[in-house]
Amino acid sequence: MNEATTWYIIKTNTGICQIATAGEANTLEPKEQWGPFPSQGEAIAKRVGLIRSGKCQPA
């Protein structure tokens, strides 16, 4: 991956949140979406917060 990759959190109809790049996010049908995040690490940290707050189900 190059340094310019942006990351998103995509919540699907099942309630599970996935971390995806901008290109991958365009192919999914999100119920909700958060981002963009400049690094995968920041997207992971946000996803953990969303799981703890009950907005996402753990995978």
Q: State how many domains the chain has.
A: 1
Alpha carbons 36 and 24: distance in angstroms, whole number? 13
Structure pTM?
0.85
| 58 in any annotated domain | no
Count CA atoms within 13 Å of residue 3 on its CB side: 0
Give 35's pLDDT tier (boundaries 50, 70, 90): very high
Per-residue model confidence as pLDDT tens digits over 6-34:
999 999 999 999 999 988 888 888 899 99
Residue 42 belongs to domain spanning:
7-52
| 45 in any annotated domain | yes
Backbone angles phi, psi at 29, to 5 degrees: -110, 90
| 17 in any annotated domain | yes
pLDDT at 2 over 70: no
